[in-house]
Amino acid sequence: MTSSSSKPRIILDCDPGHDDAVAIVIAAHTCELLGITTVAGNAPLDRTTHNARVLRHMLDLDVEVHSGAGRPMVVKPAFAGYVHGESGLDGADLPEPTRPLDGTDGIQFLIETVHSNPGCHLVVTGPMTNIALALRSDPSLGDLIAGISFMGGGTFGNRTAMSEFNFWADPHAAAVVVNSGLPLIMAGLDVTHQFQATAPRIEQVKAIDGQLAHVLSGLFDFFSANYSSRHDDMEGAAVHDPLAVLALSHRQLFESEERFVDVVIDGNHTRGMTVVDQRTLIDRPAANCTVLTKVDADAAWDVAAAAIAAGSVER
């Protein structure tokens, strides 16, 4: 486990989502979690917000949850029920959270929390709407945020042949963030597809006692069965979002390259497409992003399992 003195301070902006749920669990264990904001993405905003509250309840976290944007900046809303189910967390019986939502002012909460915690990081695991709106509302955030670690993008797509879902869902927001000038870490599909919930890894979670492990086992079973029914080249579901957390808390698990990254905002095939400049030209654009390329998936899963075990202890 990361020592308390070295834990990165983060605000987690998410759209739970099976893999977001795991990201929350890992963040609670390995980071100083300053708050959670939610956005529409894997499911509508009311569902992603409810799911974040469920995870807070199961982990007994003393952090605020604030809902943010319910639709993208420009394009029409679209969700990923075909992957996560209509609830966003299909596959397990979830407990009802007892603590109410702390507010519907997610963007203002982001701004105020950054001002109160200069030098913190943002971890973004859904569409980047909240972050883009916060940066536009308060440009001074650029001087206060240490960096943004995000799950999104890739040199190939999943929502379309060219576009990863988070970038596709709100390409205008993604473009604002990648062109913000802030230090960026990209956990795109190239690396997240290396981190899969295979049958042996799910069995590792099933061997853990406690409510959280039981719930996550059901979520993993649903998620991986859904992936297997849709893909002919994957042993289990790609558990994308935790890597954006682990890139800060366990940087040694990754290999990366410094690249220039941009986002295409329109086009039938190219909306949300990630441009990753891999040329070797001397006069290529300056790198603006640390692009994760490889992960030690077994070691990363061990961190996830340890976080699940810690969160499963009866309180």
Distance CA 231, CA 304 (A): 24
Contact between 253 and 299 under an 8 Å Cβ cutoff? The reply is: yes
Could you count the other beta carbons within 10 Å of the beta carbon of residue 137? 12
CA neighbours within 13 Å on the CB side: how many for 128? 29
Distance, CA of 164 to CA of 175 (rounded, Å): 13
CA distance 11 to 257: 25
Which value, to the nearest 10 degrees, does the dihedral of the CA atoms of residues 152, 156, 161, 162 take? 70
Strands (E), the chain: 9-14, 32-38, 65-67, 121-124, 147-151, 184-187, 196-197, 237-238, 254-263, 274-277, 289-295
240 among known catalytic residues:
yes
DSSP string, 57-93: HHHT----EEE--SS-SSSPP---HHHH-TTSSTTS-
Tell me if 244 sits within 8 A of 124, measured CB to CB: yes
**Burial 240-250, CB ≥16 within 10 A → b, else e:** bbbbbbbbbbb
Residue 254 to residue 243: CA distance in whole angstroms: 9
Asked if residue 245 lies in contact with residue 149, where contact means CB atoms within 8 angstroms, the answer is: yes
Q: What's the CA gap between 258 and 208, in Å, rounded?
A: 38
| Active-site hit among 18, 50, 193, 240 | 240
Would you state the structure tokens that stand for residue 220, as one six-digit string? 């993993």
Query: Which residues are designated catalytic?
Result: 240
